[in-house]
Amino acid sequence: MTSESATSKSLGIGIAGVWGRMGQTLLGEILRSEGAFFFAAGSESTSHPQFDDPLLDPRTREPLGLSAFGDAEALFEVSDVVLDFTTPEAALQHAAAAAASRTALLVGTSGLRQKDQKALEKASHKAPVLIAANMSPGVNLLIEATRMLAAKLGPEFDIEIQEIHHRHKRDAPSGTALAFGRAAAEGRGGSLEDLGLLDSSDRRGERPHGKIGFVVARGGDVAGEHTVLFAGPGERIELTHRAGDRRIFARGALRAATWLYAQPPGLYGMREMLGLGDG
């Protein structure tokens, strides 16, 4: 990672999983950035059907004169910041490569396991690492509102988190829905492990008092919709975010990448990036 200030240079962005849906969205947004960023390189699993194909401009389908790397180390060596929206399994490799090269790493991968979190935390001792379930500033501000409302409204309000995504999404509830749930639980002074009802399809009888429920739907090409419902005696409050285009996540990721590049080694979240306090 170079030492020049992020505010005085065009940042070289590496994309892990460059042939994926989010990878292609990120690539298009970088190429639209008019010099604020440049595409440093991309990596992809060697088992991906397009691994050997030349990379194309997603907007024009013109060749970029580049191919994807098959290993994480090469990607990190040529990038100022690496964006990772791949898989929990790949996150382990990317954590090791970030630490070895001291390159900033931004992780938006859903479904991270405890061992993945620990690996990323270890990497953050040598490189700046940002982990976020959702890169949209709007979503993260709504998560803060959820935390505040859960604390102020009191236990007489039931909390339900509803989400819908495209049919290809593998994890359920989504990472964003779980982030809303954790914020609500923290507002209530507890943890999601103790308060969460993660599978609403199994509910029978009356709703357990004080629990945080989740309702999950999958279908079509929905980029992502989340609603946090506070249902109390005689009134209902709903916080809703609807993503109409995956580009909002790419724009948020690039904004976060600029911020992250200027930070010392450490583990960060979108709360710090948005100036909302510690993660």
pLDDT in tens, 97-134: 999 999 999 999 888 889 999 999 999 999 999 999 89
In this structure, the answer to whether residues 176 and 143 fall within a common structural domain is yes
With beta carbons less than 8 A apart as the criterion, state whether 170 and 218 touch: no
165 is known as an active-site residue: yes
In this structure, the answer to whether residues 113 and 153 fall within a common structural domain is no
In this structure, the answer to whether residues 41 and 178 fall within a common structural domain is no
Mean local confidence (pLDDT), 17-40: 94
Locate 37 and state its tokens: 């960023």
Give the residue from 155, 225, 141, 244 showing the smallest Cα distance to 183. Answer: 141
Locate 62 and state its tokens: 């013109």
pLDDT tens per residue, range 135-165: 999 999 999 999 999 999 988 999 999 999 9
Q: For residue 61, is it within any domain?
A: yes
In this structure, the answer to whether residues 100 and 148 fall within a common structural domain is no
pLDDT value of position 35? 87
Question: Residue 129: how many CB atoms within 10 A of its CB?
Answer: 29
> How does the average pLDDT of the chain come out, rounded?
91
In this structure, the answer to whether residues 106 and 156 fall within a common structural domain is no
In this structure, the answer to whether residues 16 and 124 fall within a common structural domain is yes
With beta carbons less than 8 A apart as the criterion, state whether 31 and 57 touch: yes
- CATH code of residue 63: 3.40.50.720
- 168 has pLDDT over 90: no
Give me the helices (H) in 160-246, please. 175-187, 192-195
- 252 has pLDDT over 80: yes
CA atoms within 13 A of residue 144's CA, in its CB half-sphere: 15
With beta carbons less than 8 A apart as the criterion, state whether 83 and 26 touch: yes
In this structure, the answer to whether residues 211 and 101 fall within a common structural domain is no
Q: For residue 115, is it within any domain?
A: yes
Domain count, the chain: 2
In this structure, the answer to whether residues 75 and 127 fall within a common structural domain is yes
Report the alpha-carbon distance of residue 102 to residue 108 in Å, rounded.
19
In this structure, the answer to whether residues 37 and 118 fall within a common structural domain is yes
pLDDT value of position 241? 96
169 is known as an active-site residue: yes
pLDDT tens per residue, range 44-102: 999 999 999 999 999 999 999 999 999 999 999 999 999 999 999 999 999 999 999 99
Q: For residue 1, is it within any domain?
A: no
Question: Residue 199: how many CB atoms within 10 A of its CB?
Answer: 13
- CATH code of residue 153: 3.30.360.10
Report the alpha-carbon distance of residue 211 to residue 278 in Å, rounded.
26
Catalytic entry in 9, 166, 169, 211: 169
Range of the domain at 212: 137-243
Q: Band the pLDDT of 278: cuts 50, 70, 90.
A: low
Question: Do strands 196-197 and 212-218 pair parallel, antiparallel, or not at all (unpaired)?
Answer: parallel
Indicate the pTM of the whole model: 0.84
Report the alpha-carbon distance of residue 14 to residue 43 in Å, rounded.
8
Q: How many residues does the chain have?
A: 279
In this structure, the answer to whether residues 160 and 253 fall within a common structural domain is no
- Detail the DSSP E strand segments found in the chain: 11-16, 37-43, 81-84, 104-107, 128-131, 158-165, 196-197, 212-218, 224-232, 235-243, 266-268
Catalytic entry in 165, 166, 168, 211: 165
In this structure, the answer to whether residues 127 and 141 fall within a common structural domain is no
In this structure, the answer to whether residues 187 and 105 fall within a common structural domain is no
